[in-house]
Amino acid sequence: MPVQHAPRERPVIEKRTIEVIPDAERHGTPRSQFTLWFGANMQITAIVDGALAVVFGADALWAIPALLIGNVLGGIVMAAHSAQGPHLGVPQMISSRAQFGVHGAVLPLLLVILMYLGFAATGSVLAGQAVSEMLHLDNTDAGILLFGALTAVVAVAGYRLIHIAGRIATAVGALGLGYLTVRVFTQYDVGAHVGDKGFEAATFLLAVGLGAGWQLTFGPYVADYSRYLPRDTGTRVTFWSTFTGSVVGSQWAMSLGALTAAVAGKDFLSDQVGFLGDLAGPAFLALLIYLVIVVGKLTVNCLNAYGGFMSILTTVTAFDGRSRISAGARAASIIGFIAVSMAIALAASDDFLSNFKNFVLLLLMVFTPWSAINLVDYYLISRERVDIPALYDPDGRYGRWNATALTCYVVGIAVQIPFLATKLYTGAITKRLDGADISWIIGLVVTSALYWLWARRSANPPVETIHPATGDRGDRVTAPLG
């Protein structure tokens, strides 16, 4: 039977944090997931991510399909996390307590917090440059600080305003990046700059990894934005709305980045924001492109700030037993997180592109096994049945620490080391593969197989999902992931 809903309450300022979203406050349609993730991906950091494939050796002719493969593979994983949101109504990293234990989930959480800080800082550098160009500021630091203040306002307001920002970013991003794509083809002889190099496995796989890594890093917070959807929202429609928005948006931006790096070379590498402004043409069009950059970065930086404070609260409350946080503590956590990310941005290294590539590949290494464990458990072992109240109880069904999940997680990271290809370390097997990085594929396969074989023998999921409103067995969303 369909879940009966009371009239929706839709406060302007979000009041929920890590607790379950009540049915009375559920609203919206899966279409909102498309606009949020399309808008969040139509932005300059995704352009830079696509450019990296060419900067580090791939021909754009091969880089673009490789990026597409990576985006599709990573997007499947990312959207499968999103599909959990309506059914459970809890933040993504709270749900991972079902696999790792209430305390054990803190281990990947600490890495998630570092990820949010890293992306928020690198994004703030690029957005700060755009703000400085718009306002003709002599100092990029001032632009970074202004952008940080704007991020704080939207992130503190929370869910509804973030979705509005996503819809705006979808519209302006499509127009802005569409215009820049046309300008690349009209201002440069693109055909003369692509197809010069033959296929190289190492650079092709690097591009696949950059695309997959980009998508997988959304995994730890993607369900935070689908958990407000009505509980009877179908798994398939949530999956496809999220997948389509994220993959199409990121692939468009990354393809533009790959082409821009191919035709412009050092001109783009030395100043990504300034180059795109110059590419736009007349001053008023350059101003609009800077605005597009700021709007796109605002959307995704709010996601980073929102996800960062949720991860911090999830970590703290694992040990103090709280399931609710006051509005003041919520706002303070968000502002504190943004302040730290601003400090990192102000002290950022000039070697941006190289550091960013290694940052993305490192995140791919640590989040691939986490995603594997979460998805194998949810869809194959527990079969979407979760004891939601136990996610907040260290003495409940999931306990404090889950040795099976934690061991598989560590093994999943360790098996990738011989296959790594980063600036800091190149694995022994990678050298024999001429530098081709397949570490994330190894991590995904090994972790999934090991966890499935081990955990299915000890798993103890409820007969059906238990929701916290009454403690009774709730309605189960039975539509399988298609």
Q: Residue ranges of the chain with pLDDT lower than 70? A: 1-12, 322-323, 348-361, 364, 422-425, 433-436, 469-482
Q: Are 14 and 322 contacting, i.e. CB atoms less than 8 angstroms apart?
A: no
Whole-angstrom distance, CA of residue 70 vs CA of residue 183 = 26
Q: Are 25 and 182 contacting, i.e. CB atoms less than 8 angstroms apart?
A: no
> Of 7, 6, 24, which is closest to residue 15 (Cα–Cα)?
24
The structure tokens listed for 156 are: 């503190």
> What is the DSSP code string of 415-474?
TTGGG-B-SS-B-HHHHHTTT---HHHHHHHHHHHHHHHHHHHH----SSPBPTTTSSBP
Q: How much is the pLDDT for 82?
A: 95
> What is the DSSP code string of 206-259?
HHHHHHHHHHHTTTTTGGGGTTTS-TT--HHHHHHHHHHHHHHHHHHHHHHHHH
Compute φ and ψ for 308, nearest 5 degrees.
-65, -45
3-class DSSP state for residue 132?
A: helix
Calculate the alpha carbon distances from 338 to 48, 291, 301 in Å. 22, 21, 9
Whole-angstrom distance, CA of residue 301 vs CA of residue 287 = 21
Assign domain 32-351 one CATH number from 1.10.4160.10, 3.10.180.10, 3.40.1010.10, 3.90.110.10.
Answer: 1.10.4160.10
Whole-angstrom distance, CA of residue 409 vs CA of residue 284 = 51
Whole-angstrom distance, CA of residue 415 vs CA of residue 394 = 30
Helix (H) or strand (E) run with residue 178 in it: helix 159-187
Give residue limits of the domains in the chain.
32-351
Mind spelling out the 3-state secondary structure of 284-335?
HHHHHHHHHHHHHHHHHHHHHHHHHHHHHHHHHHHHHCCCCCCHHHHHHHHH
- Distance spanning both ends of the chain, measured CA to CA: 21
Single-letter residue type at 454: W
The backbone region for 195, taken as left when phi is positive above 0, alpha when psi lies in -120 to 50, beta otherwise, is left
Q: Are 384 and 87 contacting, i.e. CB atoms less than 8 angstroms apart?
A: yes
Q: Are 368 and 375 contacting, i.e. CB atoms less than 8 angstroms apart?
A: no
3-class DSSP state for residue 401?
A: coil
